[in-house]
Amino acid sequence: MVEGQDCMMMGMEWWLLLLLLGAVVGVLAGLFGIGGGTVLVPSLVLLFGARGLPDEVVFPLALGTAMASIVFTAVASAWSHHRLGDVRWSLWRRMALGVVIGTWLGTVLVPHLGSTALALFFVGFIALLAWKMWIPASSESAVITPTPVLLHGVGTGIGLVSALVSIGGGAMTVPFLLRCQVPLKDAIGTSAAVGVLIAMVGSLGYLAGGTSPDTSLLVVGTIYLPGVAAIALGSVATAPFGAHWSHRLPATQLRRAFALLLLVLSLSMLWQVVL
């Protein structure tokens, strides 16, 4: 039972924080092609913890709420990139089935894993991606040929990991597509479209799976509904700005900014876990 749930619905500061968080996530989703979970999960862990929720509730609630919020962010970002002609729909179609299978499997596994294990996995995963994104293209491994079998398998892996840490998959999809010689802006746009599948399937899994940490109607499964609404309002409004800015920034600068963002987030999450 979560105590003080009614208090979470009160106060302008709480709502402004959630709206601001959504606005930041929307820009990042459009700019980097990420669903926003890399920002939402550590931020929500901090916010829920500050509201005095029990430790065993904070991380699962952050995961579920982040995944549900990603639905709106991902749709807004993918639509913006589609209008700009940045989505490779042929690649998306070949990855789709694997993404759906992997995401659903991930939501099934989450209730059986401890919060500490999930949090440490989140930190290590994000830190590794930050390091890989910083490596110049010339020093990366050989080019990958995106065969249908490979795209299906990679899609399954991306969906599985994304569900375990409640991210939109962009942090994995973008580097993979770059290795397939897809231009950065197209990789970001296609990644945003993949994130729509991950978010929708993942949200259904978090709604149906596990035990709700609260008996009130404000929390379903492990999703805090008012938080989803506030974050969605902020993110949908700002995602198009990020998508347009992605066309104005140099590719190398955009890539390294992405790497720095991931590194800062992983260190922030590590700090929260250790303390």
Q: What is the pLDDT of residue 80?
A: 82
> Going by C-beta distance under 8 Å and a sequence separation of 6 or more, which residues neighbour residue 96?
155, 194, 197
Residue 94's domain spans which residues? 10-274
Asked whether residue 249 carries a pLDDT value surpassing 80, the answer given is no
Q: How many domains does the chain have?
A: 1
Whether 98 is in a domain gets the answer yes
Can you tell me the distance from the alpha carbon of 194 to that of 72, in angstroms, rounded to the nearest whole number?
A: 13
Q: What is the mean pLDDT of the chain?
A: 80
Q: Which of 24-38, 60-74, 135-149 has the highest mean pLDDT?
A: 60-74
Can you spell out the DSSP letters for 234-253?
HHHHHHHHHHHHTTTS-HHH
Most trustworthy range by pLDDT among 2-11, 86-95, 235-244: 86-95
Q: 219 pairs with which residues across the strands?
A: 224
Scan for tokens 């999809």, then name that residue: 173
d(CA 79, CA 15): 26
Determine the pLDDT at residue 209: 65
Question: Is 56 a residue whose pLDDT tops 70?
Answer: yes
- Please tell me the predicted confidence (pLDDT) of residue 8: 46
Q: What is the DSSP string of 185-208?
A: HHHHHHHHHHHHHHHHHHHHHHHH
Residues 6+ apart with CB under 8 A from 205: 103, 104, 106, 107, 108, 110, 163
The pLDDT score that the predictor gives to residue 167 is: 82
| Range 18-31 average pLDDT | 81
* 247 falls within a domain: yes
- C-alpha 40/C-alpha 220 separation (Å) is 18
Q: Of 206, 205, 169, which is closest to residue 188 (Cα–Cα)?
A: 169
Q: Is residue 127 part of a domain?
A: yes
C-alpha span between 149 and 95 (Å, rounded): 9
Looking at the domain assignment, is residue 89 inside a domain? Answer: yes
Residue 3 inside a domain? The answer is no
80-127: pLDDT as tens digits: 889 989 899 999 999 999 999 999 999 888 878 877 788 788 888 877
**pLDDT of the residue at 94:** 94
In a domain, 4, yes or no: no
In a domain, 140, yes or no: yes
Structural domain contains residue 244: yes
